Amino acid sequence: MPPARPVSLITGASAGIGAAFARDLAARGHDLILTARRADRLESLAEELRARHTSTVTVLPADLADPHAVSALCDALAARGLAVDWLINNAGYGVPGTFEANDWPTHEAFIRVLMTAPTELAWRLLPGMRQRGYGRIINVASLAGHVPGSAGHTLYAASKAYLIKFSQSLALENRHLGVHVCALCPGFTWSEFHDVTGTRELMNKLPGFMWQTAEAVVREGHDAVERGEVVHVTGGVNRFIKALVKLLPDRLALWLSGRESKRYRDLGEAV
């Protein structure tokens, strides 16, 4: 049985899907732990949620690109006596430009934030969930993890494919202990993501029906993990794209990905 007031840790909570998860879970009676790099945004969101709901909101700023950030974050949780029931691994971003256009520290930081940190958080917090017989882990992956990689965001699809496979194995290992794990796979979502990567102008060429709000993505993700769904692609359009790609020969799917890369990706120097 879930606790009367579950405690949820949300990474990348300062904007977009992370902030939408915070608002959704607070409305459902969760106490929250918010983490991201931008402390001012976290504090502003925390004040909003405390005013609107009865939630206790703890703000713990962290840069998950720091190799010691996750252990320090978990030490801070232990010092406050906070046991995490819901883990939302949402922190992420894109690195525009081809692989060689970026230096290694840029790629290393990306891998830490999108792959190493969510894996370590799950490893550190999962034992408590198993012991209590209840837990929810949502790894925010992407439709990109189901389709061929594209030029211009070289590591992005690879990192999301990792989260999908990681979630599947983790779910199989823990579902009999009351811990549900779900890889949430949105497509194009209205957020700051493309503004940060400098690709907003390119993304605006996409038709409106391909986009979802962060709130819609979160609602689907919450329902999916509660159902015990291990991988959930949000939105009918995205599910159609995933099904279509699976039916196409690999060479044709890769060719299509290459064509779309030229239209919607920054293939020039890193910004």
Q: Which residues are catalytic?
A: 156
Q: Is 81 left (phi over 0), alpha (psi -120 to 50) or beta?
A: left
Q: Look-up: residue for tokens 């999916």?
A: 224
Q: Look-up: residue for tokens 């690709």?
A: 199
Positive or negative torsion for Cα 108, 114, 116, 120: positive
Query: What single letter denotes the amino acid at residue 165?
Result: K
| Paired strand residues for 31 | 7
CA distance 153 to 81: 40
Q: Which residues contact 4 (CB under 8 A, 6 or more apart)?
A: none
CA distance 134 to 1: 7
CA distance 147 to 243: 10
